[in-house]
A and B are shown apart, each in its own frame.
Chain A
Amino acid sequence: MKNFLKGLWKEHPVFRQLLGLCPTLAVTTTAKNGLYMGMAVIFVLVFSCLIVSLIKKIVPNQVRIAVYTVIIATFVTIVDIFFKAYIPEMSKELGPYIPLIIVNCIILGRCEAFASKNSVGKSLIDALGMSLGFTWGLFLLASIRELLGNGTILGITLLPSGYNPLIVMILPAGAFLVLGFLVALMNKIEQAK
């Protein structure tokens, strides 16, 4: 249980460890993008950690990173093909950021730091917690940006039509701003404990 919860809050990959910031900043222009990106990461992280944990004893230390990378790349490519086949509009929307999950440091980080040293069950729970943490982080960040920058969340208009959208929120600068505020908020809550 502790392994699961730490990814959701205490060791949150985005807000506490500041990992995987490239997709965090780039795809969170709309809540839907954030959500689908999160789901892709859940799939990749869970399966990569599962395989890494299964084969941890037979992989020689010198080539472990190469082996992890091949495994991660395989699952990312599967997600990429799957998106192209079944949800082509999302595949277009996320563009290169799906293949770029390969170099997302959360994935390699969890494989190296956790899955290669722990049992299969523990690794799965850790991967699930971390990727769900990543997903809610992205969803929250993307929702704030979409709401302020476009007046909508998941395409549903929430702010009155008189609202003048803050276009900067959709641009890269908005991503840094919102991320900064969320990290600060998270630190404040942790300090208050």
Chain B
Amino acid sequence: MKDAVKITVVLTFVCAFCAFLLSFVNGAVEERVKANQVAQLQDALNKLSPKAQSVEEVAIGEDLIYKLLDEQKKLIAYGFVALGQGYQDKIKMLVVSDKNLRQLEGIEVLESQETPGLGAKIKEADFLNQFTKKDISRPLECTKLDISKKSEIKAITSATISSRAVVNTLNKRIESMRKQVKSLN
């Protein structure tokens, strides 16, 4: 009986102490963590659409769409997040396209856990620049060979799975964006 009391008291005390410590640390840096995420998104938006003067967030269901506006508050482009399964974990990308969803401004990878040195190259300019001003009136295709069609994206050598994941995620998301934009207008 005595033992049971002691065990309970010690465990409760240790847990309470740890909980206190954690809430203290979390409270101290919480805002910074959030600010980091916002800053990262903002950076990516700026990079992909330097002409935009302001950003308006529109929520559709659980989705967030970023309307990029110019000086006269006219819509010039849409920004949206695409999420899909990569080689090791989900790949999260920011996509910016023109307001008719016919041409990409470009994409940026926000979060990914692809193999360093291989799949992680999806974060590098060589791969990402292929999407700049890319025509998306047709679904994109991923190829291991040299590009022969307008809709093709060249896969990273020995990282076909990651490259394909980016392209497929993008295609799916653009498709769902088209529906959402329609419902928006």
Chain A residues with CB under 8 Å of chain B are: 29-30, 33, 55, 58-60, 62-63, 66-67, 70-71, 73-74, 77-78, 81-82, 84-86, 88, 92-93, 95, 149-150, 165, 167, 170-171
Contacts and interface: CB of A to CB of B under 8 A. Distances in A.
A107 to B, nearest CB: 15
B6 A60 contact: yes
Interface of B: 3, 6-7, 10-11, 14-15, 18, 21-22, 25-26, 29, 32-33, 36, 40, 89, 111-113, 115-118, 158
B33 A85 contact: yes
Given A149-B117, A171-B115, A85 B7 contact: no
Contacts of A63: 7, 10-11
Say whether chain B's binding surface is mostly helix, strand, loop, or mixed.
Answer: helix
Contact of A167 (B11, B21, B118): B118
Contacts of A29: 115-117
A81 B25 contact: yes
Nearest to A165: B117
A86 B28 CA distance: 12
Contacts of B3: 60, 62
Contacts of A82: 25, 29
Most buried by A among B15, B32, B116: B116
B18 A70 contact: yes
Given A78-B25, A82-B25, A92-B111, A150 B117 contact: yes
Nearest to B112: A92
B56 to A, nearest CB: 26
B22 A77 contact: yes
A86 B18 CA distance: 22
A75 B11 CA distance: 17
